[in-house]
Structures are given as structure tokens and as C-alpha cells.
Structure 1
């Protein structure tokens, strides 16, 4: 099997693993904060081993990078907590669809980070996402858990977009697994004082689930992404990554017996369609920009 085909298969498996992380919001009987702390703790240990085996270290290049890394870790902590909280309030299906508003949010807040303009197509994408979210939200009341879950999920998507844009601009010169290891190292002390008594008194089954989440469903896929990108274009990765909600919803239906309503499925289709469009459009713009830039 050639390296490209092998990397593509590996990438789909990676996205399936990332989609599976949503299940742990229901499978682990802990709060979103406790789950995030456990995920980060065991994920950091696993990635720290990967970094060491690769011959690298967690040492950064300069003082500025340490400040950036700490900032990214804090944002990532808030993102993961709200990610799991959204699914605990609503459902895995609703939460993961709400999260995938982030490609459109990225486009809308991109001008703050990069010298780009918002096109009318981006505005249309944003409207499509709003319509999609409108299908998912059952009522306008915050007393409704599903509505609250959607709002928290979209806020999590906003945090994820800010993290991704900041990472791309200030931290992308580090390998993916090293960057994630550093950010998870920051997450642990950030959440340490918010961990509940249930975390320290959890049973063996819960501990094993957290280890599984932190290693197989977090450290492993981030390592696999770094390896897959050696043979695949970033555009290919981004498009395959848009399959994550599909895998997450399928897993929720099969393993958790969730029954998404037709409104959730239609809303999800609209949100993911906008995400795919923005992914394709972003790479077209990057390609056009490179073609316009003269060789130095």
C-alpha cells in the first residue's frame, strides 16, 4: 500500500477516534471539568512519552512562545470543558453538531487575526449555520437543557476557532503532538482547583475510561494526524475532519441508543455543509494567494 493511501486510511481512523471523544461525556459519570482534567492528565503523560521518543523536548524556543503556549492551554481548557458540558446538557448528537459551527466562526473572526476580508459567500454560510442551529434549538428558553447545550456548544466552537487561529499564527512552528502536549500540561494546573471530590473517589472503571479517553482517543489521534500530514495535503485533512460529526452521531445512535430528531439531522446537515464549503473555499483562497505571491 502506498504512503498516501495508508495515510488517508489512518486519517479516517483518526477522525473516528476524535468523533468518539464525545461519547465519554455520557459514559464517564463525572462533571465536564473532571473529565477534561482526567483527559488532559493522561493525554499529557502519553504525549510526553511520544515527544521524548521522537527526540524532542517540551522546551520552547523563546519567552514569547511560553506565554503563547500558556494562553493556548487556558483557551483549550475552557473549550474542552464547554465541549463536554454541551453534550451533558443536550446530547452527543446536538453537542457535536453545535461544535462544528467553528469553521464558519473561524471565517467570521478571521479578520481579527489575519488581513482578510469577509466575502458575501461567508455571510451566506453564517446564515445557513444560523438556520441549522435554529432547527436544533427546541425553544428560546434557557431553562431547556437542549437549548442551553446548543448555546454552550456554539461558545465552545468560538473558543476552538480562537485557539486554532492563534495556534496557526503564533505556534504552528511546533509539531502537532508537541503543541498538544504543552497545552495539556497547562490545562492540568488550570483545572486542578476545580476538580470535585467525585474525581478523587472515582472507581476503577471510571479511571480506566479516563485513561482510554486521554490515550487512545486523544494522544493517539493527535500523533496520527502529525504523521498523516507528512503525506497528505492540509485540505485533505480538513475535509476528512468534517466527517467527525457524522462519526460522532453514528456512534451515539449505535452505542448510546440516542435517537436524533429529524430537526437535529436537518440542522446538522446544514451546519456540516457550511463547514465543508468554508473548508474548500479557504484552501482555494490560500492557493490563489500563493500563486499571486512572486517567488523570492
Structure 2
């Protein structure tokens, strides 16, 4: 009974984290109604997140002892953190200038197939028939959802937005593949703290150069949206996801978290009043089926939902 309760608490953590991550596109779209560009919004998100990661990282250092990494390992940690949380996030924010939040979340779930392909190409891992079927389902679903979105969209350059979001998924896949060795040494929670701290540095530099003092002159609502993004789609879900992985396992976490696009579709229709086509709904089902097959019996990773 205790083990069952332990498991279901983990399921709850994963579902909550998936819901929080699903809110990201909604909050970004709401912020883009004001005169703010992607790098400035990302800068606010990371700046508001930084104190939490510094405090949590310090607490984990006291609780788990000092970190013993070589210089090369520190550089690797910084590189993968910047890749996963600066480049991938920036590309994702840019993509949301052009496409709906619901399509963004569907496209972003292409990243498990990128992880599969990168492991096959870079490490010679065999791709099974089940995984090939997962690839076909995922890309068929994305194509169908994309076609449905073009028919409904009133925005221009939907293809450009899709390019940036898919590129974000590819970069995030590179982050996942590159982070395995260092993450095993640090643990997922401490690794997340250090990776986020590393990514904050180039984000703040880029944001300061691009926006300058304009960072301090946005409407108050923009800063509140930045705080919400920092807390509820960055800090809290990353640690809830890590706890969920600990309790239910990595494969189960991947499968449960794939409900994220469903959450986003519901939120985008109720809050942003985005129209959803039947092609998007069917495409979402195909993508989730592909993610399910890709995630089945997956080896352990730090997190499975791009931020």
C-alpha cells in the first residue's frame, strides 16, 4: 500500500509538471500582446528564476556535499546548460511569434525522435521496428497538425515559426544526449540548478545588449507574466518532474508527461481563443502515440519535457 501511494504521488508530480510546462506557450502568447521581443521576455524569465536556482543549488550542496568535477566536466555542464536552456528556449520563444501555442506544443514533442536518431547516429544504437513505427507516427502527426494549422491560422510565416520550434526540439535533444554523463555524477536536481545558472549568463548578456534599459520599462503585466513563467513553468515543474522520475521511473514519466499537448490545446482554446482543427486533434493523437512508443523502455534521463 505504501509503495502504491509512493507511485501515485509520483504520477501526480508528473501530471502537475506537464500542466505547468503546457502553460508556457499560453503565458508567452499573453506577453507578446505587449511590445516585448523574445530575448527580452526570455531574459525576464531567467532573471526571475535565477535566485531560486541559486538558493536550491546552495541547499543541495550543503545536503549532499561539495561537487567534485574536473574542469572539462564543468565546461561540459556549462555547454549543455546553455544549449538546453538558452538556445533551445530562445528558438522556442521566436517560434511562438508566428504559430499558435497548441501547434508549438505539438511540434516540440518531436524531440524524443531526435534523441532516438542522435543516439543511433552518434552512438550506433540500433533503431528497432517499434521505434521506426514511432518515428512514422510522430512525423505523420506533425505534418497533419501543421496542415490543419495553416488552414485555420490568420498569422503569416507559419512555416517559419514551425522551423524555429522544430529547431528548438533538435537543440533540446542535443542537450539531453550531451547531459547524461555529467547528470549521473551530480544527480538530476543539482544538475538542473547548475545548467539553469549557466544558461542565465548568456541570456542576461544577450538581453541587456539587445534591449538595454527597456528591460525596466515594460508594462507591469509583463513582469507578472515573467514571474509566473519563472515560478510555474520553470522552477516548480523542473523539480516536480525530477521527483516524478524518482518515484515512477523514466519511461513512465515520459508516457505520462506526453499529455502536455492536450493540456495546451485546452488552455489555448479557453484562454487565447485559438481555433483547433480536426487535423490538429488527429495529428496530436498520432504524435502522442509516437511519443508513447519512443518512450517505452527508455533509459533514464533528467527531464522529458522541454521547458
Give TM-score, length-normalised by structure 2: 0.83
CA distance in 2, matches of 1:259, 1:160: 28
**2:126 is the counterpart of 1:114:** no
Instruction: Map 1:1-296 onto structure 2 (within 5 A).
Output: 2-29=5-32, 30-54=36-60, 55=62, 59=67, 61-76=69-84, 77-138=86-147, 144-195=156-207, 196-197=211-212, 198-282=214-298
Aligned length: 281
Aligned-pair CA distance for 1:33: 1.6
Equivalent pair of 1:37/1:187 in contact (CA under 8 Å) = no
Flag the 1:31–1:239 CA change in 2: closer, same or farther, 3 A: same
Equivalent pair of 2:98/2:160 in contact (CA under 8 Å) = yes
Flag the 1:149–1:233 CA change in 2: closer, same or farther, 3 A: same
CA distance in 1, matches of 2:175, 2:51: 22
Equivalent pair of 1:98/1:150 in contact (CA under 8 Å) = yes
Gap regions ≥5 residues in structure 2: 301-307
1:230-265 per-residue CA deviation (whole Å, 9 max, x = no partner) reads: 322222211111111111221111211111222222
Equivalent pair of 1:41/1:184 in contact (CA under 8 Å) = no
Aligned-pair CA distance for 1:58: 8.3
Q: What is the Cα-based RMSD across aligned positions, in Å?
A: 2.3
Gap regions ≥5 residues in structure 1: 287-296
Aligned-pair CA distance for 1:124: 3.3
1:294 alignment counterpart = none
- SS at structure 1 position matched to 2:184: coil
